Structure 1
Amino acid sequence: MKFSRYFQELMLVYKAELDDLRTDSEGKDVMRHRLKEKREQLPFLLPMMGENPEMLVTAFHGAFLFMNPLVFENLASKEGNKLPSWKSLAAAVKLEPWADKLAKLVLAEEEGDRFLVTAACLEYLSRSHHTRANAVAEQDDNEDQDEQDESHEDSDLDGNYGRHGRDDGDDGDDVDLEEAGADWLAEQGFDRKD
């Protein structure tokens, strides 16, 4: 599945926000308490909805029931300005009863419709088959690794260090590693094992 740039960037931030809410400095699970605070703060955060949706979207964590996941698979490939209206998703997603009041607050705002669709999609992506953010990061890492492998193979053409472009230190000397380790430890002042 291919992410739009809009969801690719927001998914990484959303995951980080959830991780930040999950535990306190002592490692205790405080997510329920922090989500409650975030929901209470939502009316004050509304002005940031258009420019910084990641500041509010966690208030809707756990708020959605997904009736048609394929709709959200498709949504994840759309840019923010190409998203459908919230009403058009009525058959694909429902709100938990506790989230109705929050949704009404959001939908009363100019950017509310797009925000709620974005929040639902981010929540779907975070719940679905291993965290999608990890898949995106792995895809980027794989692309970087492929580029490195190609550059190392080019080095082989120049006769540098062999297949992976590194010197493994094997110059043909058959040195017993155990003996070399024992020598090094003896040099550091440790007694030799017999």
Structure 2
Amino acid sequence: MRLSPFFEDLKSAYDAELDDLMTDSAGHDVLAKRLRLKRKQVPDLLVMIESNPEMVAVAFHGGIRFSRPEVMSDLVAQDPEDLPGWAILLDSLHLEPWAAELTEMVLKAPNGEQFLVVTACLEYLHGRSSASPEAGERRQSDDLDGDGDDNDFDTDVDLEEAGADWLAEQGFDRKDRSSGDN
């Protein structure tokens, strides 16, 4: 799977933010408790959705399920200005009830719609990387080779194609992947 530079950088920051929330100084797992607190703080954190989206996006951790991973796979290759609107993405995912409530709050904020699309992409990437230890090992070895590109997975190519088809159906221009212009 190819990531845009935007999502490549943001994914690292998002994963680090979740890692920071995971344990307390004694090493106890406190993620659930800290996520509940973060969700309560969302109204106060909305000012950060442009400057540090990863710090707010973690509030949605575990609240988004993906029914059309091929769409998400294509979106994470996009630059932020090329992302579709939130309403277009809704048929590709399911929100837990508490996440749907947070979504309504975020949609009222300036740039809330784009933030939610970015958040869904970050959750997708995090779930994908944590779901498969083999994929994580493969990415690490690829990164050691210096290219950091996962285009050698046939399923990722299929997912990208399906995602590109879906975006084209929604009225977005299809990007030419063969030329490297994404």
Flag the structure with larger Rg.
1
Higher relative contact order (Cα pairs below 8 Å, separated by 6+ residues) = 2
Matches of 1:133 and 1:21, distance apart in 2: 21
TM-score, structure 1 length as denominator? 0.69
- 2:45 partner amino acid: L
The alpha-carbon deviation at position 137 of structure 1 amounts to 5.2
- Unaligned stretches of 5+ in structure 1? 145-194
Calculate the aligned-residue CA RMSD, in Å: 1.8
More helix as a share of residues:
2
1:139 Cα deviation after fit: 3.2
Query: Gaps (5+ residues) in structure 2?
Result: 148-182
For the pair 1:64 / 2:64, whether they are aligned, the reply is yes
Aligned residues: 144
1:33 aligns to 2:33 (yes or no): yes
- Counting aligned pairs with the same residue, the percent is 43
Deviation larger for 122-131 or 29-38: 122-131
- Checking the alignment, whether the CA contact within 8 Å between 1:12 and 1:133 is kept in structure 2 is no
Alignment match, 1:103: 103
| Secondary structure in structure 1 of the residue aligned to 2:146 | helix
User: What does residue range 1-194 of structure 1 map to in structure 2 within 5 Å?
Assistant: 1-128=1-128, 129-130=131-132, 138-143=141-146
Deviation (angstroms), 1:138: 4.2
Kept in 2, the 8 Å contact 1:65–1:95? The answer is: yes
- Give distance in 2, aligned partners of 1:122 and 1:134: 19
Amino acid at match of 2:59: A
Closer, same or farther in 2 for the Cα pair 1:52/1:143, shift >3 Å?
same
Determine the C-alpha separation between the residues in 1 that align with 2:43 and 2:73.
Answer: 30
Q: Which amino acid aligns with 2:144?
A: D
- Taking structure 1 as reference, are residues 69 and 47 closer, same or farther at Cα in structure 2, changes over 3 Å only? same
Query: Which amino acid is 1:98 matched to?
Result: W
The TM-score, its normalising length taken from structure 2, stands at: 0.74
Whether contact under 8 Å (1:11, 1:133) holds in the other structure is no
